[in-house]
Amino acid sequence: MLFDTHVHLNADQFDEDVEEVITRAKETGVEYMVVVGFDEKTINRALELVQTYDFLYAAVGWHPVDAIDMNDDHLGWLEELSAHPKVVALGEMGLDYHWDKSPKEVQKDVFRKQIRLAKKVKMPIIIHNREADQDIVDILKEEEAKEVGGIMHCFGGSVEIARECLEMNFHISLGGPVTFKNAKRPKQVAREIPIERLLIETDCPYLAPHPYRGKRNEPAYVKLVAEQIAELKEMDYEEVAKQTTKNAKKLFRLSL
């Protein structure tokens, strides 16, 4: 039993064959998935998918790259959607200093607003972080995000940053990069962070694990992430699958 905590089956890359992709995931042992929406189009598509498949759940938020496009109406919409029975988290939200579409100060403002909303509606949050480790940690502390906790999605930071996040009630989620030969940080994090605080994900269609690196990622490949973590932690694969699924169910408050 596997729980892919971060998929984008709502992406254009799956328009032609989403049913087949979901079938392959189920055949590989993926029991549950969270479809993450991060703007109007992807949120609406996520909601369509979770209403079609009973084993899919949704997260809704506003991506930092598009922070400049977000307004108060969008924030109100997210608050409304938080009451949807299949919405289990807010996000992805955070900071992305790689792309320059949205100014840093705008990103920070939108990030803070979403954290405050999560505290208001009492939902965990999913954090997107690209080249912004310290600012992410500082804002999570200043906004007391520990109150709701959540996920450091596709974590690529150091063990030290990971431990700071654990102290703030966050889980560390690892994806395809943990399988890359040169990915020292994710491998070190996999070894040193307790299995009780780890989650697995694909972030599909992005970041496909080895040996599919560079190709379209899909939820079935989350098994490769679990297998790599099991190898790094010198644990049985079945135990990694079982514990990471248990962690996800608890975080998302799913009594499945």
Q: What is the pLDDT of residues 117-165, one digit of tens each?
A: 999 999 999 999 999 999 999 999 999 999 999 999 999 999 999 999 9
Q: CA-to-CA distance for 158 and 186, rounded, in angstroms?
A: 8
Instruction: Give the helix/strand (H/E) hosting 56.
Output: strand 56-60
User: What does the pLDDT read at residue 256?
Assistant: 72
- Other CB atoms within 10 Å distance of the CB of residue 5: 31
* Closest to 174 (Cα-Cα) out of 146, 205, 195: 195
- Mean pLDDT over all residues of the chain? 97
Q: What's the pTM value of the predicted model, to 2 decimals?
A: 0.97
> Tokens standing for 125?
């949050």
Whether 114 and 125 have beta carbons less than 8 Å apart is answered as: yes
User: What does the pLDDT read at residue 100?
Assistant: 86
Whether 185 and 144 have beta carbons less than 8 Å apart is answered as: no
Angle at 74 between CA 156 and CA 250, to 5 degrees: 50
- Other CB atoms within 10 Å distance of the CB of residue 110: 26
Q: Please name the residues in contact with 235: beta carbons below 8 A apart, sequence gap of 6 or more.
A: 195, 229
Secondary structure of residue 1 in the 3-state scheme: coil
C-alpha torsion sign, points 49, 52, 53, 56: positive
C-alpha torsion sign, points 244, 187, 8, 63: positive
User: What does the pLDDT read at residue 26?
Assistant: 98
Question: Over the chain (256 residues), what is each successive 10-residue block's mean pLDDT?
Answer: 98 98 98 98 98 98 97 97 98 96 97 98 98 97 98 97 98 98 96 98 98 98 98 98 98 92
Q: CA-to-CA distance for 236 and 76, rounded, in angstroms?
A: 45
User: What does the pLDDT read at residue 253?
Assistant: 97
